[in-house]
Amino acid sequence: MTPQPSAQHPRPSGTPVPPLFPGPLTFGAIFSRGFSAVARNPKPLVLWAMLLPLAVHLLFAIPTALSDAAGLNDEPSPRYDSATVGILLLTLLSSVVYYVVSVLGGAVLQGYVANSVRFEALGHRGTPAELWAATRPVFGRLVGYGGLVIAFAIALGIAAGIAGVIAGIIFGLVAGLSQAMAPAVVLLVLLLLGIFVPILWFSARISIAPAIIVCERTSAWNAVRRAWSLTRGRGWRVVGLYLLLGLVAAAAAGILVLLFWGLTQALMPSPAGETGITGPRFLASYLAGLPVVISGAAILPVTAAATANVYLDARTRQDPLAASLYQYHAARAAGYAPAQLADPFVTVPPGSHLG
């Protein structure tokens, strides 16, 4: 029986492209593919994976700017009247909502970008409608992965808090016994590294789970387990990739800080002598946070595309994905439509039923 068209077998209604080489890939190739994926297919990736998160970030930046403009951090005497305390509570609530929306929405957008990379591996450049059509069937699973990330973050936060208390006690004891700060500072740095480096490593190990969900149609939990298996022995390589992308985002944020600072100084009077929520104070606070917001939104599709290529590289090193894709493209060249072929990301080998 001929398979029916589905999200797993997209019809080539968009632009046919040379198939993306799945791997094995070098570190530099994975890094550069994050940027080239956006350059090759800018409309769906910039519109949905960059501008949409940017709009969300800009919206949630308003309560933070209001909090700063209200004078909660004014020196030497911060303001704590009922209005400013209400703004503080609003800011805290919006921060929690912002984190949840960012994690859950980020998981969905990672799956959306992974579908773009998957389409190119199948020799097809997806349109926004096609990418959303392919992402929609696994939307709940991607949200479920985001929920797991939040649960992991809470658990790790509790563990880090306990470790921090212990570190503080040890820091005080060492500082008191040695009568010098240097040994205590060294110990504190080592303890902080002992907390945050494993968290970074763990995050890198499970980061390809959204790509697994969209390519292999598995559940969120099984995708995390599969990601752990595929990245075995490659965890630090993935950490290095994310650190390098983070440096790029930080450099971009630094440049934007200078640009926005110059813009603020040129177009607005100094709000330093003002108190309370005024237009200049609010605008200055809002503009101060934009560089990080913009650079973070800009790097999101790049990071997601690089992560999808980490998945392709891991698959080609551990199972015959490259051979499956080769047979798939050979069948396509012979005239078979995608709907007539098994999905090479799920079934190995594809097209074996053709005879």
Prior bond to 24 cis, omega within 30? yes
**Cα 210 off chain centre by:** 10
How sure is the predictor about 350, in pLDDT bands with cuts at 50, 70 and 90? very low
More confident residue, 276 or 51: 51
Q: What tokens were used for 269?
A: 């009077």
The CA distances from residue 54 to 57, 180, 296, in Å, are 5, 47, 8
DSSP 170-213: HHHHHHHHHS-HHHHHHHHHHHHHHHHHHHHHHHHHHTTHHHHH
What was the pLDDT predicted at 351? 42
Judged by average pLDDT, the poorest of 79-83, 96-100, 149-153 is 79-83
Query: Greater confidence, 2 or 145?
Result: 145
Pick the more confident residue, 224 or 173. Answer: 224
Segment among 128-142, 164-178, 230-244 with least mean pLDDT: 164-178
Give the pairing type, strands 124-125 and 15-16. antiparallel
Residue 72's pLDDT band, with cuts at 50, 70 and 90, is: low
pLDDT at 268: 62
How many CB atoms sit inside 10 A of residue 136's CB? 12
- Give the closest residue to 114 by CA, choosing from 86, 78, 95, 141: 141
pLDDT, residue 349, reads 46
The whole-angstrom separation of Cα 199 and Cα 201 is 5
H or E stretch including 15? strand 15-16
**For residue 73, pLDDT beyond 60:** no
Judged by phi (left if over 0) then psi (alpha if -120 to 50, else beta), residue 254 lies in alpha
Query: According to the model, what pLDDT value does residue 161 have?
Result: 80
Q: How far apart are CA 92 and CA 22, in angstroms?
A: 44
What would the pLDDT profile of 23-59 be if each residue is shown by its tens digit? 899 999 999 999 999 999 998 888 888 888 888 888 8
pLDDT-derived band at 2, boundaries 50, 70, 90: very low
What is the reported pLDDT for 9?
Answer: 46
Amino acid at 86: G
User: Strand, helix or coil at 125?
Assistant: strand
Containing 150, the helix (H) or strand (E) segment is: helix 139-178
How far is 286 from 276, CA to CA, in rounded Å? 15
Residue 203 has pLDDT above 70, yes or no: yes
* CB-CB neighbours of 15 under 10 Å: 11
What span, in angstroms and rounded, lies between the C-alpha atoms of 146 and 64?
24
Element (DSSP H or E) covering residue 301:
helix 279-318
Distance between CA 273 and CA 303 in Å, rounded?
A: 42
The 10s digit of each residue's pLDDT in 205-255 is 999 999 999 999 999 999 999 999 999 998 999 999 999 999 999 898 889
What is the structure's pLDDT at 65?
Answer: 74
Total residues belonging to the chain: 355
Cis peptide bond prior to 320, omega within 30° of 0:
no
Query: What is the pLDDT, as a whole number, of residue 180?
Result: 59
Position 83 scores a pLDDT of 62
Mean of pLDDT over the chain:
82
> pTM here?
0.83
Of the pLDDT bands very low, low, confident and very high (cuts 50, 70, 90), residue 3 is very low
- The CB-based long-range contact list for 236-241 (8 Å cut-off, 24+ gap) reads 236/201, 237/27, 238/204, 238/205, 238/207, 238/208, 238/310, 239/200, 239/201, 239/204, 240/27, 241/27, 241/30, 241/31, 241/204, 241/306, 241/310
Give the bridge partners for 15, in sequence order.
Answer: 125
Q: Nearest 5°: phi and psi at 308?
A: -60, -35
Rg (CA), the chain: 24
Give the residue, 156 or 131, on which the prediction is more confident.
Answer: 131
Band of residue 283 on the pLDDT scale cut at 50, 70, 90: confident
- Residue 161 to residues 175, 197, 232, 238, Cα–Cα distance (Å): 21, 15, 28, 26
Report pLDDT for 27.
94
| pLDDT value at 160 more than 90 | no
For the chain, the domains span 15-318, 327-355
Q: What's the mean pLDDT in 156-170? A: 78
